[in-house]
Amino acid sequence: MIDLSVEARSLLATLGVADDALTGDLPVRSPVNGQEIARVATATRQMACDGIASAHAAFQAWRLVPAPRRGELVRLLGEELRAGKSALGRLVSIEAGKSPSEGLGEVQEMIDICDFAVGLSRQLHGLTIATERPDHRMMETWHPLGVTGVISAFNFPVAVWSWNAALALVCGNPVVWKPSEKTPLTALACQALFHRAAARFAASGTAVPDGLSVLLTGGRAVGEILVDHPDVKLVSATGSTDMGRAVGQRLAARFARAILELGGNNAAIVTPSADLELALRGVAFAAMGTAGQRCTTLRRLFVHDAIYDGFVARLKSAYATVTVGSPLEEGNLVGPLIDAAAMDRMQRALESARALGGVVTGGHREGAADWPDAYYVRPALVEMPEQAGPVLDETFAPILYVMKYSDFDRAVALQNAVPQGLSSAVFTTDLRQAERFLSAAGSDCGIANVNIGTSGAEIGGAFGGEKETGGGRESGSDAWKGYMRRATNTINYGTTLPLAQGVSFDI
Ligand code: UN1
Protein backbone atom coordinates (compact mmCIF):
# COMPACT_ATOMS: atom_id res chain seq x y z
CA MET A 1 0.00 0.00 0.00
CA ILE A 2 1.30 3.47 -0.82
CA ASP A 3 2.06 5.51 2.26
CA LEU A 4 0.15 8.78 1.95
CA SER A 5 1.18 10.12 5.35
CA VAL A 6 4.65 11.03 4.08
CA GLU A 7 3.30 12.93 1.11
CA ALA A 8 0.61 14.62 3.22
CA ARG A 9 3.25 15.82 5.70
CA SER A 10 5.48 17.12 2.98
CA LEU A 11 2.59 18.99 1.32
CA LEU A 12 1.62 20.46 4.68
CA ALA A 13 5.21 21.60 5.24
CA THR A 14 5.27 23.21 1.79
CA LEU A 15 2.07 25.04 2.63
CA GLY A 16 3.53 26.30 5.90
CA VAL A 17 1.95 24.00 8.50
CA ALA A 18 4.32 23.37 11.40
CA ASP A 19 4.85 19.76 12.46
CA ASP A 20 3.65 20.45 15.99
CA ALA A 21 0.14 21.15 14.63
CA LEU A 22 0.04 17.49 13.64
CA THR A 23 -0.45 15.84 17.01
CA GLY A 24 -3.57 15.11 18.97
CA ASP A 25 -6.47 12.77 19.48
CA LEU A 26 -8.29 13.17 16.16
CA PRO A 27 -7.16 10.66 13.51
CA VAL A 28 -7.32 11.80 9.89
CA ARG A 29 -7.82 9.08 7.29
CA SER A 30 -7.39 9.35 3.57
CA PRO A 31 -10.38 7.94 1.73
CA VAL A 32 -7.95 7.03 -1.06
CA ASN A 33 -6.61 4.02 0.84
CA GLY A 34 -8.17 4.28 4.30
CA GLN A 35 -4.82 4.97 5.90
CA GLU A 36 -4.44 7.18 8.95
CA ILE A 37 -2.28 9.97 7.55
CA ALA A 38 -2.05 12.30 10.54
CA ARG A 39 -3.55 13.30 13.84
CA VAL A 40 -4.73 16.69 14.91
CA ALA A 41 -6.03 18.06 18.20
CA THR A 42 -9.66 18.50 19.13
CA ALA A 43 -10.18 22.03 20.41
CA THR A 44 -11.24 22.04 24.05
CA ARG A 45 -14.05 24.27 25.27
CA GLN A 46 -11.43 26.60 26.70
CA MET A 47 -9.56 26.78 23.39
CA ALA A 48 -12.79 27.45 21.51
CA CYS A 49 -13.88 30.19 23.90
CA ASP A 50 -10.42 31.78 23.81
CA GLY A 51 -10.47 31.65 20.01
CA ILE A 52 -13.86 33.31 19.85
CA ALA A 53 -12.76 35.94 22.40
CA SER A 54 -9.69 36.77 20.31
CA ALA A 55 -11.87 37.01 17.19
CA HIS A 56 -14.25 39.31 19.04
CA ALA A 57 -11.31 41.50 20.09
CA ALA A 58 -10.06 41.49 16.48
CA PHE A 59 -13.45 42.74 15.35
CA GLN A 60 -13.06 45.96 17.33
CA ALA A 61 -10.03 46.86 15.21
CA TRP A 62 -10.79 45.20 11.86
CA ARG A 63 -14.19 46.89 11.43
CA LEU A 64 -12.37 50.25 11.41
CA VAL A 65 -9.90 49.31 8.68
CA PRO A 66 -11.19 50.79 5.39
CA ALA A 67 -12.87 48.12 3.30
CA PRO A 68 -10.55 48.45 0.26
CA ARG A 69 -7.63 47.97 2.63
CA ARG A 70 -9.33 44.85 3.99
CA GLY A 71 -9.60 43.79 0.37
CA GLU A 72 -5.82 44.02 0.07
CA LEU A 73 -5.46 41.25 2.66
CA VAL A 74 -7.81 39.07 0.63
CA ARG A 75 -5.87 39.91 -2.52
CA LEU A 76 -2.72 38.64 -0.82
CA LEU A 77 -4.58 35.52 0.30
CA GLY A 78 -5.51 34.96 -3.35
CA GLU A 79 -1.82 35.26 -4.26
CA GLU A 80 -0.87 32.69 -1.64
CA LEU A 81 -3.55 30.36 -2.98
CA ARG A 82 -2.17 30.78 -6.48
CA ALA A 83 1.34 29.98 -5.26
CA GLY A 84 0.08 26.99 -3.25
CA LYS A 85 -2.45 25.77 -5.79
CA SER A 86 -0.78 22.53 -6.81
CA ALA A 87 0.15 21.53 -3.25
CA LEU A 88 -3.24 22.39 -1.78
CA GLY A 89 -5.08 20.76 -4.68
CA ARG A 90 -3.10 17.58 -4.16
CA LEU A 91 -3.79 17.69 -0.41
CA VAL A 92 -7.52 18.03 -1.17
CA SER A 93 -7.22 14.92 -3.35
CA ILE A 94 -5.49 13.00 -0.57
CA GLU A 95 -7.77 14.12 2.23
CA ALA A 96 -11.15 14.28 0.46
CA GLY A 97 -10.54 11.81 -2.38
CA LYS A 98 -11.08 14.19 -5.29
CA SER A 99 -9.61 13.65 -8.75
CA PRO A 100 -6.53 15.77 -9.54
CA SER A 101 -8.60 18.05 -11.74
CA GLU A 102 -11.31 18.49 -9.11
CA GLY A 103 -8.73 19.05 -6.36
CA LEU A 104 -7.19 21.86 -8.39
CA GLY A 105 -10.66 23.10 -9.37
CA GLU A 106 -11.52 23.48 -5.72
CA VAL A 107 -8.49 25.72 -5.16
CA GLN A 108 -9.35 27.67 -8.31
CA GLU A 109 -12.79 28.33 -6.84
CA MET A 110 -11.00 29.81 -3.79
CA ILE A 111 -8.85 32.05 -5.98
CA ASP A 112 -11.95 33.17 -7.86
CA ILE A 113 -13.83 34.20 -4.72
CA CYS A 114 -10.76 36.10 -3.48
CA ASP A 115 -10.70 38.05 -6.74
CA PHE A 116 -14.42 38.69 -6.46
CA ALA A 117 -14.07 39.86 -2.85
CA VAL A 118 -11.22 42.24 -3.70
CA GLY A 119 -13.46 44.03 -6.21
CA LEU A 120 -16.33 43.90 -3.78
CA SER A 121 -14.23 45.66 -1.15
CA ARG A 122 -14.74 48.86 -3.19
CA GLN A 123 -18.41 48.18 -3.82
CA LEU A 124 -20.01 47.69 -0.40
CA HIS A 125 -22.66 50.19 -1.33
CA GLY A 126 -26.05 51.20 0.00
CA LEU A 127 -28.88 53.16 -1.59
CA THR A 128 -29.82 56.78 -1.42
CA ILE A 129 -33.60 56.90 -1.10
CA ALA A 130 -36.05 59.70 -1.87
CA THR A 131 -37.61 61.14 1.26
CA GLU A 132 -41.01 62.77 1.73
CA ARG A 133 -39.57 65.54 3.89
CA PRO A 134 -37.99 68.72 2.47
CA ASP A 135 -34.27 69.25 3.06
CA HIS A 136 -33.80 65.67 4.12
CA ARG A 137 -31.75 62.86 2.75
CA MET A 138 -32.23 59.17 3.43
CA MET A 139 -29.65 56.50 2.78
CA GLU A 140 -28.53 53.13 3.93
CA THR A 141 -25.10 52.17 5.22
CA TRP A 142 -23.64 48.70 5.51
CA HIS A 143 -21.50 47.99 8.55
CA PRO A 144 -19.43 45.01 9.65
CA LEU A 145 -21.54 42.51 11.58
CA GLY A 146 -19.14 40.76 13.95
CA VAL A 147 -17.52 37.38 14.41
CA THR A 148 -18.55 35.03 11.62
CA GLY A 149 -18.55 31.29 12.32
CA VAL A 150 -18.04 28.88 9.45
CA ILE A 151 -18.96 25.21 9.72
CA SER A 152 -17.95 23.31 6.59
CA ALA A 153 -18.29 19.79 5.24
CA PHE A 154 -15.74 17.25 3.98
CA ASN A 155 -16.79 17.37 0.34
CA PHE A 156 -15.64 20.92 -0.35
CA PRO A 157 -13.22 21.04 2.54
CA VAL A 158 -11.67 24.41 1.68
CA ALA A 159 -13.68 26.19 -1.03
CA VAL A 160 -16.72 26.67 1.19
CA TRP A 161 -14.56 28.24 3.88
CA SER A 162 -13.10 30.60 1.29
CA TRP A 163 -16.51 31.71 0.00
CA ASN A 164 -17.38 32.74 3.51
CA ALA A 165 -13.99 33.95 4.69
CA ALA A 166 -13.22 36.14 1.66
CA LEU A 167 -16.58 37.91 1.93
CA ALA A 168 -16.56 38.11 5.73
CA LEU A 169 -13.06 39.61 5.79
CA VAL A 170 -13.77 42.37 3.27
CA CYS A 171 -17.05 43.03 5.09
CA GLY A 172 -15.04 43.67 8.27
CA ASN A 173 -15.70 40.43 10.15
CA PRO A 174 -13.23 38.02 11.76
CA VAL A 175 -13.79 34.36 10.92
CA VAL A 176 -13.82 31.35 13.23
CA TRP A 177 -13.81 28.11 11.26
CA LYS A 178 -14.85 24.63 12.35
CA PRO A 179 -14.00 22.36 9.41
CA SER A 180 -15.28 18.82 9.04
CA GLU A 181 -13.50 16.47 11.43
CA LYS A 182 -12.82 14.36 8.33
CA THR A 183 -10.77 17.09 6.62
CA PRO A 184 -8.80 19.14 9.17
CA LEU A 185 -5.48 18.98 7.29
CA THR A 186 -6.56 21.10 4.35
CA ALA A 187 -8.00 23.52 6.91
CA LEU A 188 -4.64 23.76 8.67
CA ALA A 189 -3.08 24.46 5.28
CA CYS A 190 -5.54 27.30 4.58
CA GLN A 191 -4.86 28.79 7.97
CA ALA A 192 -1.11 28.70 7.25
CA LEU A 193 -1.68 30.41 3.89
CA PHE A 194 -3.81 33.02 5.62
CA HIS A 195 -0.95 33.69 8.05
CA ARG A 196 1.47 34.11 5.15
CA ALA A 197 -0.87 36.65 3.58
CA ALA A 198 -1.37 38.36 6.94
CA ALA A 199 2.39 38.71 7.49
CA ARG A 200 2.80 40.35 4.08
CA PHE A 201 -0.19 42.59 4.77
CA ALA A 202 1.23 43.66 8.13
CA ALA A 203 4.57 44.41 6.44
CA SER A 204 2.70 46.76 4.10
CA GLY A 205 1.59 48.88 7.02
CA THR A 206 -1.72 47.73 8.54
CA ALA A 207 -1.63 45.55 11.63
CA VAL A 208 -3.57 42.29 11.43
CA PRO A 209 -5.23 41.71 14.77
CA ASP A 210 -4.70 38.28 16.33
CA GLY A 211 -7.91 36.35 16.05
CA LEU A 212 -8.87 37.66 12.62
CA SER A 213 -8.89 34.07 11.39
CA VAL A 214 -9.28 31.31 13.96
CA LEU A 215 -9.34 27.58 13.25
CA LEU A 216 -11.02 25.19 15.66
CA THR A 217 -10.59 21.54 14.71
CA GLY A 218 -12.80 18.91 16.24
CA GLY A 219 -16.25 17.41 16.08
CA ARG A 220 -19.81 18.42 16.75
CA ALA A 221 -19.14 19.69 20.30
CA VAL A 222 -16.79 22.33 18.91
CA GLY A 223 -19.41 23.41 16.38
CA GLU A 224 -21.97 23.71 19.16
CA ILE A 225 -19.77 26.12 21.09
CA LEU A 226 -19.59 28.30 18.00
CA VAL A 227 -23.33 28.14 17.44
CA ASP A 228 -24.21 29.01 21.04
CA HIS A 229 -21.62 31.70 21.73
CA PRO A 230 -23.15 35.18 22.13
CA ASP A 231 -20.16 36.85 20.46
CA VAL A 232 -20.65 34.91 17.23
CA LYS A 233 -23.09 37.04 15.27
CA LEU A 234 -23.44 34.84 12.19
CA VAL A 235 -22.87 31.17 11.50
CA SER A 236 -22.61 29.94 7.95
CA ALA A 237 -23.12 26.19 8.04
CA THR A 238 -22.83 23.69 5.20
CA GLY A 239 -23.86 20.08 5.68
CA SER A 240 -26.87 17.84 6.19
CA THR A 241 -30.40 19.08 6.70
CA ASP A 242 -30.41 17.48 10.17
CA MET A 243 -27.32 19.45 11.14
CA GLY A 244 -28.80 22.64 9.69
CA ARG A 245 -32.09 22.19 11.50
CA ALA A 246 -30.28 21.94 14.83
CA VAL A 247 -27.95 24.84 14.05
CA GLY A 248 -30.74 27.05 12.69
CA GLN A 249 -32.93 26.56 15.75
CA ARG A 250 -30.14 27.28 18.19
CA LEU A 251 -29.13 30.43 16.32
CA ALA A 252 -32.73 31.58 16.11
CA ALA A 253 -33.13 31.09 19.86
CA ARG A 254 -30.49 33.76 20.44
CA PHE A 255 -31.44 35.88 17.40
CA ALA A 256 -28.12 35.28 15.69
CA ARG A 257 -27.91 35.13 11.95
CA ALA A 258 -27.65 31.91 9.94
CA ILE A 259 -26.58 31.16 6.41
CA LEU A 260 -27.59 27.55 5.85
CA GLU A 261 -26.47 25.53 2.85
CA LEU A 262 -27.90 22.08 3.42
CA GLY A 263 -29.00 19.02 1.50
CA GLY A 264 -29.77 18.98 -2.19
CA ASN A 265 -31.80 16.44 -4.11
CA ASN A 266 -31.21 17.89 -7.51
CA ALA A 267 -33.04 16.91 -10.66
CA ALA A 268 -32.70 17.35 -14.40
CA ILE A 269 -35.29 16.99 -17.13
CA VAL A 270 -34.20 15.71 -20.53
CA THR A 271 -36.75 16.75 -23.14
CA PRO A 272 -37.20 15.32 -26.66
CA SER A 273 -35.70 18.43 -28.27
CA ALA A 274 -32.50 18.24 -26.19
CA ASP A 275 -29.05 18.03 -27.73
CA LEU A 276 -28.60 14.50 -26.44
CA GLU A 277 -24.81 14.44 -26.81
CA LEU A 278 -24.54 17.48 -24.59
CA ALA A 279 -27.19 16.18 -22.19
CA LEU A 280 -25.31 12.91 -21.78
CA ARG A 281 -22.11 14.67 -20.80
CA GLY A 282 -23.96 17.11 -18.56
CA VAL A 283 -25.79 14.33 -16.75
CA ALA A 284 -22.69 12.13 -16.42
CA PHE A 285 -20.55 14.84 -14.79
CA ALA A 286 -23.30 16.08 -12.52
CA ALA A 287 -24.32 12.59 -11.37
CA MET A 288 -20.97 10.80 -11.12
CA GLY A 289 -18.43 13.61 -10.57
CA THR A 290 -16.93 13.81 -7.07
CA ALA A 291 -18.40 10.30 -6.59
CA GLY A 292 -21.83 11.86 -6.10
CA GLN A 293 -20.64 13.73 -3.02
CA ARG A 294 -21.54 17.29 -3.96
CA CYS A 295 -24.54 19.05 -2.53
CA THR A 296 -25.23 19.93 -6.17
CA THR A 297 -24.90 16.33 -7.42
CA LEU A 298 -27.60 15.27 -9.85
CA ARG A 299 -29.70 12.65 -8.06
CA ARG A 300 -32.95 12.50 -10.07
CA LEU A 301 -33.41 12.40 -13.82
CA PHE A 302 -36.68 12.72 -15.73
CA VAL A 303 -36.39 11.55 -19.33
CA HIS A 304 -39.17 11.98 -21.89
CA ASP A 305 -40.62 8.65 -23.02
CA ALA A 306 -39.93 9.40 -26.71
CA ILE A 307 -36.17 9.36 -26.09
CA TYR A 308 -36.02 7.29 -22.91
CA ASP A 309 -34.77 3.94 -24.23
CA GLY A 310 -31.96 5.30 -26.39
CA PHE A 311 -30.81 7.91 -23.91
CA VAL A 312 -30.87 5.64 -20.87
CA ALA A 313 -29.02 2.89 -22.77
CA ARG A 314 -26.22 5.34 -23.57
CA LEU A 315 -26.17 6.58 -20.02
CA LYS A 316 -25.89 3.01 -18.73
CA SER A 317 -22.90 2.37 -20.92
CA ALA A 318 -21.25 5.53 -19.54
CA TYR A 319 -21.95 4.18 -16.05
CA ALA A 320 -20.43 0.82 -16.95
CA THR A 321 -17.25 2.28 -18.41
CA VAL A 322 -16.49 5.34 -16.30
CA THR A 323 -13.09 4.95 -14.68
CA VAL A 324 -13.35 4.28 -10.94
CA GLY A 325 -10.15 4.27 -8.94
CA SER A 326 -7.51 6.16 -7.04
CA PRO A 327 -8.08 9.89 -7.45
CA LEU A 328 -4.34 10.37 -7.25
CA GLU A 329 -3.93 8.85 -10.68
CA GLU A 330 -4.80 10.93 -13.72
CA GLY A 331 -7.57 9.40 -15.75
CA ASN A 332 -9.78 8.13 -12.96
CA LEU A 333 -12.99 10.10 -12.98
CA VAL A 334 -14.71 8.59 -9.95
CA GLY A 335 -12.80 8.42 -6.66
CA PRO A 336 -13.76 6.86 -3.35
CA LEU A 337 -16.63 7.49 -0.99
CA ILE A 338 -15.49 9.29 2.11
CA ASP A 339 -15.82 6.28 4.47
CA ALA A 340 -17.52 2.99 5.31
CA ALA A 341 -20.61 4.72 6.69
CA ALA A 342 -21.17 6.42 3.31
CA MET A 343 -20.95 3.03 1.62
CA ASP A 344 -23.52 1.57 4.06
CA ARG A 345 -25.92 4.43 3.46
CA MET A 346 -25.57 3.97 -0.29
CA GLN A 347 -26.27 0.23 -0.08
CA ARG A 348 -29.27 0.82 2.18
CA ALA A 349 -30.72 3.34 -0.26
CA LEU A 350 -30.27 0.89 -3.15
CA GLU A 351 -32.00 -1.84 -1.10
CA SER A 352 -35.03 0.34 -0.47
CA ALA A 353 -35.11 1.37 -4.14
CA ARG A 354 -35.15 -2.30 -5.15
CA ALA A 355 -37.96 -2.97 -2.69
CA LEU A 356 -40.01 -0.31 -4.51
CA GLY A 357 -39.40 -1.89 -7.92
CA GLY A 358 -36.23 0.02 -8.82
CA VAL A 359 -33.93 -1.66 -11.32
CA VAL A 360 -30.33 -1.05 -10.29
CA THR A 361 -27.34 -0.95 -12.64
CA GLY A 362 -23.96 -0.73 -10.87
CA GLY A 363 -23.75 0.34 -7.26
CA HIS A 364 -21.39 -2.43 -6.18
CA ARG A 365 -18.09 -1.98 -4.39
CA GLU A 366 -14.99 -2.17 -6.55
CA GLY A 367 -11.31 -2.72 -5.79
CA ALA A 368 -11.89 -4.14 -2.31
CA ALA A 369 -8.96 -6.53 -2.75
CA ASP A 370 -6.57 -3.66 -3.52
CA TRP A 371 -8.22 -1.23 -1.15
CA PRO A 372 -9.63 -3.16 1.83
CA ASP A 373 -9.99 0.03 3.89
CA ALA A 374 -11.20 2.34 1.15
CA TYR A 375 -14.64 2.45 -0.43
CA TYR A 376 -14.72 2.65 -4.19
CA VAL A 377 -18.03 2.04 -5.83
CA ARG A 378 -19.37 1.75 -9.36
CA PRO A 379 -21.90 4.59 -9.69
CA ALA A 380 -25.48 3.36 -9.60
CA LEU A 381 -28.19 4.13 -12.11
CA VAL A 382 -31.60 3.14 -10.80
CA GLU A 383 -34.66 3.06 -13.06
CA MET A 384 -37.60 3.82 -10.81
CA PRO A 385 -41.27 3.25 -11.57
CA GLU A 386 -42.13 6.38 -9.56
CA GLN A 387 -40.67 9.04 -7.33
CA ALA A 388 -40.92 7.47 -3.88
CA GLY A 389 -38.92 6.19 -0.91
CA PRO A 390 -35.18 6.91 -1.17
CA VAL A 391 -35.71 9.11 -4.24
CA LEU A 392 -37.05 11.75 -1.86
CA ASP A 393 -33.88 11.72 0.26
CA GLU A 394 -30.38 12.97 -0.32
CA THR A 395 -28.02 9.99 -0.11
CA PHE A 396 -24.48 11.34 -0.35
CA ALA A 397 -23.25 8.83 -2.92
CA PRO A 398 -23.39 8.35 -6.71
CA ILE A 399 -26.96 7.15 -7.15
CA LEU A 400 -28.99 8.50 -10.04
CA TYR A 401 -32.71 7.68 -9.98
CA VAL A 402 -34.10 7.75 -13.51
CA MET A 403 -37.81 8.18 -14.24
CA LYS A 404 -39.85 8.43 -17.42
CA TYR A 405 -42.19 11.33 -18.10
CA SER A 406 -44.56 12.30 -20.87
CA ASP A 407 -45.87 15.75 -19.85
CA PHE A 408 -43.36 18.59 -19.30
CA ASP A 409 -45.35 20.43 -16.65
CA ARG A 410 -45.82 17.20 -14.73
CA ALA A 411 -42.05 16.61 -14.87
CA VAL A 412 -41.46 20.10 -13.46
CA ALA A 413 -44.00 19.40 -10.71
CA LEU A 414 -42.22 16.15 -9.83
CA GLN A 415 -38.85 17.85 -9.83
CA ASN A 416 -40.26 20.32 -7.29
CA ALA A 417 -42.00 17.62 -5.22
CA VAL A 418 -39.14 16.91 -2.82
CA PRO A 419 -38.27 18.62 0.45
CA GLN A 420 -34.96 20.02 -0.84
CA GLY A 421 -34.51 22.95 -3.26
CA LEU A 422 -30.89 23.50 -4.23
CA SER A 423 -30.19 22.90 -7.92
CA SER A 424 -32.03 21.87 -11.05
CA ALA A 425 -31.59 21.70 -14.81
CA VAL A 426 -33.48 21.26 -18.04
CA PHE A 427 -31.98 19.99 -21.28
CA THR A 428 -33.99 21.41 -24.15
CA THR A 429 -33.67 23.46 -27.34
CA ASP A 430 -37.32 24.51 -27.04
CA LEU A 431 -37.27 28.16 -25.96
CA ARG A 432 -40.73 27.96 -24.46
CA GLN A 433 -39.85 25.02 -22.24
CA ALA A 434 -36.56 26.59 -21.18
CA GLU A 435 -38.26 29.83 -20.19
CA ARG A 436 -41.12 28.01 -18.45
CA PHE A 437 -38.57 26.10 -16.41
CA LEU A 438 -36.95 29.38 -15.32
CA SER A 439 -40.26 31.17 -14.66
CA ALA A 440 -42.20 31.54 -11.43
CA ALA A 441 -44.13 28.43 -12.42
CA GLY A 442 -40.94 26.46 -13.08
CA SER A 443 -38.14 25.15 -10.90
CA ASP A 444 -38.44 26.08 -7.23
CA CYS A 445 -34.69 25.77 -6.60
CA GLY A 446 -32.05 28.37 -5.79
CA ILE A 447 -30.19 27.26 -8.92
CA ALA A 448 -31.99 26.55 -12.20
CA ASN A 449 -29.92 25.81 -15.30
CA VAL A 450 -30.58 25.28 -18.99
CA ASN A 451 -28.41 22.84 -20.94
CA ILE A 452 -25.85 22.40 -18.21
CA GLY A 453 -25.91 20.02 -15.25
CA THR A 454 -26.84 20.82 -11.68
CA SER A 455 -23.32 21.02 -10.25
CA GLY A 456 -20.25 23.12 -10.86
CA ALA A 457 -21.62 26.60 -10.19
CA GLU A 458 -19.32 29.60 -10.65
CA ILE A 459 -18.67 31.90 -7.71
CA GLY A 460 -20.11 35.00 -9.42
CA GLY A 461 -23.70 33.99 -8.73
CA ALA A 462 -25.35 33.64 -5.33
CA PHE A 463 -25.12 30.01 -4.24
CA GLY A 464 -27.76 28.26 -2.14
CA GLY A 465 -31.26 26.87 -2.20
CA GLU A 466 -34.77 26.89 -0.88
CA LYS A 467 -36.87 24.69 1.42
CA GLU A 468 -34.83 22.15 3.39
CA THR A 469 -31.69 23.38 1.65
CA GLY A 470 -31.91 26.16 4.20
CA GLY A 471 -32.44 29.37 2.24
CA GLY A 472 -28.90 30.74 2.68
CA ARG A 473 -26.94 32.40 -0.09
CA GLU A 474 -23.16 32.45 -0.25
CA SER A 475 -20.54 33.50 -2.74
CA GLY A 476 -21.39 36.00 -5.50
CA SER A 477 -24.10 38.52 -6.42
CA ASP A 478 -25.21 40.37 -3.26
CA ALA A 479 -24.61 37.46 -0.85
CA TRP A 480 -22.19 39.82 0.95
CA LYS A 481 -25.19 41.57 2.51
CA GLY A 482 -25.66 38.51 4.72
CA TYR A 483 -22.33 39.31 6.37
CA MET A 484 -23.13 42.95 7.20
CA ARG A 485 -25.68 44.91 9.15
CA ARG A 486 -27.72 47.57 7.43
CA ALA A 487 -28.42 50.95 8.97
CA THR A 488 -30.98 53.31 7.50
CA ASN A 489 -29.96 56.93 8.00
CA THR A 490 -32.14 60.02 7.65
CA ILE A 491 -30.37 63.36 7.66
CA ASN A 492 -32.11 66.72 8.07
CA TYR A 493 -30.08 69.53 6.53
CA GLY A 494 -32.88 72.11 6.88
CA THR A 495 -33.89 74.44 9.67
CA THR A 496 -37.31 72.99 10.52
CA LEU A 497 -38.40 69.60 11.80
CA PRO A 498 -41.15 68.25 9.54
CA LEU A 499 -42.41 64.87 10.76
CA ALA A 500 -43.09 61.97 8.45
CA GLN A 501 -46.64 60.91 7.67
CA GLY A 502 -47.76 64.52 8.28
CA VAL A 503 -47.78 64.03 12.04
CA SER A 504 -47.67 67.24 14.10
CA PHE A 505 -46.22 67.53 17.57
CA ASP A 506 -45.91 71.21 18.41
CA ILE A 507 -44.58 71.86 21.85
C1 UN1 B 1 -21.05 21.75 -2.13
O2 UN1 B 1 -21.15 20.62 -2.60
O3 UN1 B 1 -21.23 21.94 -0.89
O4 UN1 B 1 -21.63 24.06 -7.60
C5 UN1 B 1 -20.65 22.95 -2.90
C6 UN1 B 1 -20.78 23.23 -7.23
C7 UN1 B 1 -19.58 23.72 -6.49
C8 UN1 B 1 -19.86 23.89 -5.04
C9 UN1 B 1 -20.52 22.73 -4.38
N10 UN1 B 1 -19.16 24.99 -7.06
O11 UN1 B 1 -20.88 22.04 -7.49
Whether 240 and 294 share a structural domain: no
Whether 336 and 312 share a structural domain: yes
Q: What is the pLDDT of residue 393?
A: 96
- The pLDDT tens digits for 438-492 are 999 999 999 999 999 999 999 999 999 999 999 999 999 999 999 999 999 999 9
Cα separation, 426 vs 302, whole angstroms: 9
Total of domains in the chain: 2
49 is catalytic: no
Residue 249 CA to ligand 1 centre (angstroms): 24
Going from the C-alpha of 94 to that of each of 9, 14, 29, 188, 447, the distances in angstroms are 11, 15, 9, 14, 30
| Range(s) of the domain holding residue 316 | 266-459
Whether 231 and 337 share a structural domain: no
Confidence category of residue 2, pLDDT binned at 50, 70, 90: confident
What SS3 class is residue 395?
Answer: coil
Whether 95 and 233 share a structural domain: yes
ipTM for the complex shown: 0.97
Going from the C-alpha of 38 to that of each of 30, 111, 337, 406, 478, the distances in angstroms are 9, 27, 19, 53, 39
Ligand 1 neighbours by CB, cut-off 6 Å: 109, 155-156, 160, 238, 294-296, 455-457
- The pLDDT tens digits for 325-380 are 999 998 999 999 999 999 999 999 999 999 999 999 999 999 999 999 999 999 99
Whether 332 and 474 share a structural domain: no
Q: Which of ligand 1's atoms lies nearest the C-alpha of 297?
A: 11
Residue 477 CA to ligand 1 centre (angstroms): 16
Mean pLDDT, all residues of the chain: 97
The dihedral built from the CA positions of residue 65, 68, 72 and 77, taken in this order, carries a sign that is positive
Q: Which of ligand 1's atoms lies nearest the C-alpha of 296?
A: 11
Cα separation, 101 vs 84, whole angstroms: 15
- Roughly how many angstroms between the first and final C-alpha of the chain, as a whole number? 87
For the chain, what's the residue count? 507
Which residue owns the Cα nearest ligand 1 atom 1?
A: 295
Cα separation, 426 vs 448, whole angstroms: 8
With respect to residue 184, please indicate whether it lies within any of the assigned structural domains.
yes
- The pLDDT tens digits for 8-41 are 999 999 999 999 999 999 999 999 999 999 999 9
Cβ proximity of 388 and 356 under 8 Å: yes
Q: Which of ligand 1's atoms lies nearest the C-alpha of 295?
A: 2
263-273: b (≥16 Cβ within 10 Å) or e: bbbbbbbbbbb
CATH of the domain at 243: 3.40.605.10
Q: Which residues pair with 490 in a beta bridge?
A: 138
φ and ψ at residue 384, rounded to 5 degrees = -110, 140
Q: What is the pLDDT of residue 330?
A: 87
Task: Please choose from 98, 150, 152, 296 the residue to mutate so as to test ligand 1's pocket, defined by most ligand atoms within 8 A of CB.
Answer: 296
- The pLDDT tens digits for 238-290 are 999 999 999 999 999 999 999 999 999 999 999 999 999 999 999 999 999 99
Cβ proximity of 292 and 379 under 8 Å: yes
Q: What is the pLDDT of residue 1?
A: 64
pTM of the model: 0.97
Whether 132 and 215 share a structural domain: yes
